[in-house]
Amino acid sequence: MTEAETSRTGKRVLLAKPRGYCAGVDRAVQTVEEALKLYGAPIYVRKQIVHNKHVVQTLEAKGAIFVEENEEVPEGATVIFSAHGVAPEVYEQAKVRSLKAIDATCPLVTKVHQEARRFAAEDYDILLIGHEGHEEVIGTAGEAPAHIQLVDGPDGVDKVTVRDPEKVVWLSQTTLSVDETLETVARLKQRLPLLQSPPSDDICYATSNRQHVVKEIAPDCDVVIVVGSRNSSNSVRLVEVALDAGARAGYLVDFAHEIDDAWLAGARTVGLTSGASVPDELVQQVLAHLAERGFADVEEITTANERLTFSLPQELKRDLKAAAARG
């Protein structure tokens, strides 16, 4: 479609940046890929390495086997722990089964685990803001179960009980809605005025950045499409943030073919972004799908430039180095 034809249709896409892979996801996926090359298939992965259907299917095709628990991994085999982190007991189970464990936990999640251990050692009550049942929450809570209670959003505040209102701190899951977390903290502080905050914000930079750019574009959008999986907390949050910020409609899809043409009927501006565990090829497929339907004018809206990278897990780096030395 020519530029003149595009301007005649008046249809456009506002493409959010930053979007897609964050440093923690990139590291986790690379960990599985490098382990497969170094040790050979199969490599076992406890839980989904990241919450994305396409990524999991791609790694399965290369020889990764995804399991729910360590018991499903043959004794002595290699197991990779997902980016969401695990409780200490999971490491113990791995030792009992003589598993070679490689920890692909995102370093920003590891930071929250360290905070939990430190505050528990100082005998604080820890209020963990997060979603019940999410793998990251289970892993963090497992660091100090006797000290941690879950607060699942603002509505969970009234159920909180603490031993000493002067020794309470809040921590959070890294992939929450920034605004909802701030609202939860504000309500907690009404009840517990001496509530302490973590030394630095627990919500990760990538989650905050992706929500911020969606807030920028949403008021101009008839529809916002978020590429991401339903079990991806940060992807689900992006749809909510878009709607809260003024988008007329918002939808979550794993793949371009899931887009219903009815969503686009009468739309002039479509916003497009993707969750932190989504490879950009899936976004490009959505752009091609939209272009076929007249949305060929794409404007990328950038609110931050991300340059953070994380090195591979120590266990894997050590073995890669040894393999390189052997030639």
| pLDDT-derived band at 2, boundaries 50, 70, 90 | very low
pTM above 0.85, yes or no: yes
pLDDT, mean of residues 270-299: 98
| pLDDT-derived band at 4, boundaries 50, 70, 90 | very low
Omega cis (within 30) before 42: yes
Q: Compute CA distances 80 → 84, 102, 104, 267, whole Å.
A: 12, 5, 7, 44
Among 34, 115, 136, 143, the active-site one is 136
136 assigned to active site: yes
CATH number of this structure's domain 12-21+205-302: 3.40.1010.20
pLDDT, mean of residues 261-287: 98
Specify whether the CB–CB gap between 239 and 226 falls below 8 A: yes
Binding residue positions for dimethylallyl diphosphate = 51, 84, 134, 232-234, 277
Residue with tokens 């909510």: 240
Asked if the domains 23-105+309-325 and 108-191 are classified in one and the same CATH topology, the answer is no
Q: Compute CA distances 16 → 63, 64, 224, 305, whole Å.
A: 33, 32, 10, 12
> pLDDT tens, 49-74?
999 999 999 999 999 999 999 999 99
Binding residue positions for isopentenyl diphosphate = 51, 84, 134, 232-234, 277
Residue with tokens 């396409």: 54
> pLDDT tens, 131-190?
999 999 999 999 999 999 999 999 999 999 999 999 999 999 999 999 999 999 999 999
Q: Which residues pair with 298 in a beta bridge?
A: 13
CATH architecture assignment, domain 23-105+309-325: 3-Layer(aba) Sandwich (3.40)
Give the pLDDT score at 6: 44
Give the pLDDT score at 327: 79
d(CA 327, CA 322): 9
Tokens (6 digits) for 215 = 């807030």
Binding residue positions for [4Fe-4S] cluster = 22, 106, 204
The three-state DSSP-derived secondary structure of the chain is CCHHHHHHHCCEEEEEECCCCCHHHHHHHHHHHHHHHHHCCCEEEECCCCCCHHHHHHHHHHCEEEECCHHHCCCCCEEEECCCCCCHHHHHHHHHCCCEEEECCCHHHHHHHHHHHHHHHCCCEEEEECCCCCHHHHHHHCCCCCCEEEECCHHHHHHCCCCCCCCEEEEECCCCCHHHHHHHHHHHHHHCCCCECCCCCCCCHHHHHHHHHHHHHHHHCCEEEEECCCCCHHHHHHHHHHHHCCCCCEEEECCHHHCCHHHHCCCCEEEEEECCCCCHHHHHHHHHHHHHCCCCEEEEEECCCCCCCCCCCHHHHHHHHHHHHHC
Model confidence at 320: pLDDT above 90? yes
Tokens (6 digits) for 186 = 């504000």
pLDDT, mean of residues 220-225: 98
Domain boundaries, the chain: 12-21+205-302, 23-105+309-325, 108-191
Side-chain-side CA neighbours of 269 within 13 Å: the count stands at: 15
Residue (of 95, 90, 85, 87) closest to 49 by Cα position: 85
pLDDT, mean of residues 261-272: 98
Average pLDDT over the chain, rounded to whole?
96
CATH class for the region spanning 108-191 = alpha beta
d(CA 68, CA 94): 13
Binding residue positions = 22, 51, 84, 106, 134, 174, 204, 232-234, 277
Residue 251 CB partners (closer than 8 Å, separation 6+) = 223, 224, 225, 226, 239, 259, 260, 263
Identity of the amino acid at 69 = E
